[in-house]
Amino acid sequence: MSNSKREVLMKKVEHHLRTTSRQLIKINTEDEVLQYLADSFRSELYCDFVGVVLSEGDSFIPKAWSGNIPSILRHFPLLAANCSSKLLRQSLTYKASATNNSCRLTEILKEENVKTWFTVPLNDDIHHFGFCIVGFLSYVPLLEMESHFEEFGKDMAVALSVARQKENQLKKLEGIEWISKNQSLDSSLDQHFSEVTYRAGKSTNADFACMYIYNEKENCFDLQRPVYGEMEYLDRMMIEDNYALKEYFPFLEVTGCAQMTVPLLIDLKPIGVLHVQNKYERPFTEEDLKILEMLSTHVATLLENARLYKSEKDNKNRLHYLLDFQQSLVKKTVEDDDFEGITLKLSDLFQETVILYDRFMRPIAFNFRNSDNDYNLPDNLALQANMLRQNLKKQEKFTVVHPDRDDCVFSFWVINGGGNLLGYLSVCNTASEMNEFDQLTVEMARNICSIQFIKQKLVLDTKEQVKDSFISKLLVEKVEDQESIIQYANLFQWDIFKYHRVAVLTVSIDEDDLLEQQAKKVLIWDAIKSHLAKFDSRILTVSHDENYILLLPVDDDVQSKKYWKNLYDNIERWSLEVFSGCKILLGIGTSTSNMKDYYVSYQQALLALNVMNIRMKHISFSLYEDLGAYTILHHLDQSNAVNLFIKSQLDPLLTYTENKNIDLYHTLYVFLQNNGNIKSTSDELFIHRSSLLYRLEKIESLLNIDLNDAEIRFNLMMAFKLHDMHGDRLKKS
């Protein structure tokens, strides 16, 4: 080639390079820059192929290609370590293949019969982007324009950098525009997640993008489908003892690597991550991180908006449901007199076990859920609750641990009405906290239960008033309007003509405040009445003349003293559960045979009470017939005649007993109680027969009497009974 032609060609190529450099600056995207470069070179230099190869991680990857030799492309990507290190720093030509046998690129070009080729490094002062390769299938003369091509490579690198910046800015603008269009909550979250992962993958040129959301219940990160691209991944990432996010996502907010993860934060609390990854180790940049952070902020905002929207929607639906539920509960109070329907509906609402107790902590209605099928559970909980409520009287809520499950707690709420304690509502609470709607539901249920309690109380009070009224007509000396009494008795399904005993009960409380004392007495009496209904359903309870009366039909059990002792012991226990500082007395009259006898039995019960209260304080209940002569002696005036009689009969024995070790007073009492039987008396006193005979002789000597005389025995028994009744007064005189 002549020098003139050579110069013309060089100028033509140099002009093309300058024109191309200026044109590249005008292009906005990296792909357009690379493709324009490849096409312009091929059209101007009449070469067979032009390729632009960029360095990504440890590989060379073709990003733009122009020409019809696809067989070369199948060898890519190439490991950079297997190629000449000069590719990124200076121009190389086909002549390098003769001197460098260790470069995989030159080997490939030789294998594909590329006769003439040269490379142009694409770099600036900071970045080594890759290189441009130009090839010919025939030999062509290469001009000595290495310096021009290398300068063009630098211009190309600047164009690439500018294009990437423009592309990143464009991606941000597109991202902002996309976010503004996707703030709507009309689409499902799954659809939003799909679009976010797609946008994350496209915006960062990633091969794979996905999103993990933290599952608090299972303590793990769950993958959200669909994902962008194809790559191996875990569907679920379990959280161990270490809660550091970087432990599970090591590329958290790290640039310069082929993976990158950004957290999804709501109120500085991580709720998930957005993750991108490349197959060929292309590193992610600061610009990619900013794009992902923008998308993660959008996702977090979207999730928070969705949560608030769902919460608001749920709240609205819950309020509507609560109103319907309240109407349903109120309807139950109208339709039913018990609490079964109320506890069933509450249990359905909470999906938990619900138990309703009366004010004495006795279960009156319950509905079991889950594994709570133990019918002893309400009573077992009541035992614990009873111990707690003594110390928590002013608190409206307390908790009791399930007797068999430490992870389950029953919450107890006090039910009040009209200033009075009416009962307790208990709900099994497996969750750590009740939300505001659960609490609102509980308050509503307490009010409904309070209405039902008050309704029941009004009905019971009315029945009690009717019952007290007709019983008052029966417990008078002269019974009038017998037909009316019989009708009322039939109303209560009470056979008035059956034999009955009338018992009178009194409650004594050590309380200075009369109003407080009366209030406590009412509580105790209500507790006794309530328990008696279960103890013996035949017992009729009424209030009459400030006395509490029990009417029991007579049978063999009621006639036995064992029955009355058992009844009294239970009444005393029930009373002490309500108020520990109370004393109970119970007097029982004899059996009735007609309507007039109820008054007699009532008076006998009152008399028995008076004798116990004034004369015989060592006993707390008694049948009238068991008091015998005490019922008559009780009415004797405490005069000197009584004192003189006791002293004349027993004083020598009392004096002797005080001065000696032998208790002749007690010996004589046991002897008389055993009707003068020597063997029975000696056995009861645990002494020998001869010792007893000696004591009896001594007694006869001291009293100057004959114990075989029936009249003398009667006088001595009378003296003993009077001494039992007036002994304390005699000691003081």
Q: Flag whether pLDDT at 642 surpasses 80.
A: no
Which pLDDT band, with edges at 50, 70 and 90, does 473 fall under? confident
* Percent of the chain whose predicted confidence (pLDDT) is above 90: 2
Per-residue pLDDT tens digits for 234-250: 888 888 777 788 888 99
Per-residue pLDDT tens digits for 294-347: 888 877 777 777 677 777 777 777 777 677 766 766 676 666 666 787 788 778
Helix (H) or strand (E) holding 132: strand 128-136
Name the residue among 524, 528, 527 with its Cα closest to residue 516. 524
pLDDT, position 633: 61
pLDDT, position 180: 43
Which pLDDT band, with edges at 50, 70 and 90, does 434 fall under? low
- Say which range, 17-26, 105-114, 299-308, 640-649, has the weakest mean pLDDT: 17-26
Q: What is the maximum span of the chain, computed from C-alpha positions, in angstroms?
A: 178
pLDDT, position 208: 92
pLDDT, position 178: 43
What separation in angstroms does the CA of 231 have from each of 60, 207, 276, 344, 458?
A: 21, 8, 11, 52, 74
Scored b (16 or more CB within 10 A) or e, 169-197 reads eebeeebeebbeeeeeeeeeeeebbbbbb
Which pLDDT band, with edges at 50, 70 and 90, does 698 fall under? confident
Q: Which of 358-372, 392-406, 663-677 has the highest mean pLDDT?
A: 663-677
pLDDT, position 9: 47
Per-residue pLDDT tens digits for 184-213: 445 566 777 788 888 888 888 889 999 998
Q: What is the DSSP letter of 450?
A: H
Cα–Cα distance measured from residue 247 to residue 706, given in angstroms and rounded to the nearest whole number? 108
Q: What average pLDDT does range 284-288 have in this prediction?
A: 84
pLDDT, position 730: 46
Q: Flag whether pLDDT at 22 surpasses 80.
A: no
Q: Does this model's pTM top 0.75?
A: no
Per-residue pLDDT tens digits for 510-548: 777 777 788 788 888 888 888 888 888 888 888 877 788
Q: Flag whether pLDDT at 261 surpasses 90.
A: yes
Q: Flag whether pLDDT at 584 surpasses 50.
A: yes
Name the average pLDDT for the chain: 77
CA angle 12, 14, 20 (to 5 degrees): 100
Positive or negative, the Cα torsion across 719, 723, 729, 730?
Answer: positive
DSSP structure string for 60-104: EEEEEEEES-HHHHTT-SEEGGGS-GGGGTS--BTTHHHH--S-H
Q: Flag whether pLDDT at 151 surpasses 70.
A: no
Which conformational region is residue 481 in: left (phi greater than 0), alpha (psi within -120 to 50 degrees), or beta? left
Q: What average pLDDT does range 676-702 have in this prediction?
A: 87
Higher pLDDT, residue 135 or 326: 135
Per-residue pLDDT tens digits for 33-82: 666 666 766 666 677 888 888 888 788 888 878 877 778 888 888 888 88
Cα–Cα distance measured from residue 471 to residue 466, given in angstroms and rounded to the nearest whole number? 9
Q: Flag whether pLDDT at 489 surpasses 90.
A: no
Contact 707, 692 (CB under 8 A): no
